[in-house]
């Protein structure tokens, strides 16, 4: 359950519209490494996580990504507000305008619609956490790319804030991965799924006496 606060996590106050920038930044709304994918990924993965620390990190970060989705939507909205159809068409955002006018719709910078295949929920905490670590770095790289082409300080400010949060999330997922690995036998860090495999089999694998096809005896 969530309680909605009527404010953004970090303020967005853009006074100069720029539809071309809106097209670039839209990728962090519905693109492959964007905030929708991040929030859906973590809030879905949390259920298979067998350890409380992992569940807490996935829920915290997934919730924060929803707030980031809201910030990105606000940036896109403010960058396109009040423009004429001619200004939008001249900026390269014309195809988006034809389908969505000035509405917010999840797609990548190249126009590819958001798709749940952008993320996984594998039901294996180690697999999922490695994906989460990579996702945070990919999101940071995208923000770096955006910052290379944005000069307006009113746009740079919230983008820099979001970029810093990706670095914090990477650190937190690293801590969660360490905690999950601490529950596993050191010789079988990646051979078993701690969320699914039989605990007795996991113990046997730890003792080196499991003869299943996964452990190999």
Which residues make up the interface to Fe ion (CB under 5 A)?
166, 169
Residue 209: left if φ>0, alpha if ψ -120 to 50, beta else—which one? Answer: alpha
57 versus 195: smaller Cβ distance to Fe ion: 57
35 versus 124: smaller Cβ distance to Fe ion: 35
Q: How far is the CB of 145 from Fe ion (least distance, A)?
A: 16
Q: How far is the CB of 77 from Fe ion (least distance, A)?
A: 21
Q: How far is the CB of 151 from Fe ion (least distance, A)?
A: 25
Nearest residue relative to Fe ion (C-beta): 169
Q: How far is the CB of 51 from Fe ion (least distance, A)?
A: 20
46 versus 169: smaller Cβ distance to Fe ion: 169
Residue 112: left if φ>0, alpha if ψ -120 to 50, beta else—which one? Answer: beta
Beta-bridge partners for 107: 113
Residue listed under structure tokens 């495999």: 197
56 burial level (CB within 10 Å; 0-12, 13-18, 19+) = middle
Asked whether 92 and 20 are in contact (CB, 8 A), the reply is: yes
96 versus 143: smaller Cβ distance to Fe ion: 143
């Amino acid at each position: 359950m969530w309680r909605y606060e009527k404010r953004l996590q970090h303020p967005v106050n853009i006074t100069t519209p720029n539809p071309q920038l809106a097209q670039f930044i839209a990728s962090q709304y519905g693109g492959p490494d964007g905030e929708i994918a991040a929030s859906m990924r973590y809030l879905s993965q949390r259920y298979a996580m067998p350890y409380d620390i992992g569940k807490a990190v996935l829920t915290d970060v997934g919730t924060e990504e929803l707030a980031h989705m809201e910030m990105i939507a606000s940036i896109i909205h403010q960058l396109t507000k009040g423009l004429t159809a001619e200004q939008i068409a001249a900026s390269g955002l014309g195809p988006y305008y034809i389908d969505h006018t000035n509405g917010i719709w999840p797609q990548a910078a190249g126009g590819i619609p958001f798709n749940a295949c952008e993320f996984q929920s594998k039901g294996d905490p180690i697999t999922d956490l490695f994906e989460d670590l990579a996702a945070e770095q990919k999101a940071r790289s995208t923000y770096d790319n955006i910052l290379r082409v944005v000069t307006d300080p009113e746009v740079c400010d919230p983008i820099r804030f979001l970029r810093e949060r990706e670095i914090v999330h990477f650190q937190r997922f690293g801590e969660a991965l360490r905690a999950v690995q601490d529950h596993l036998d050191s010789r079988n860090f990646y051979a078993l799924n701690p969320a699914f495999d039989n605990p007795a089999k996991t113990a046997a694998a730890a003792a080196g006496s499991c003869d299943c096809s996964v452990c190999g005896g």
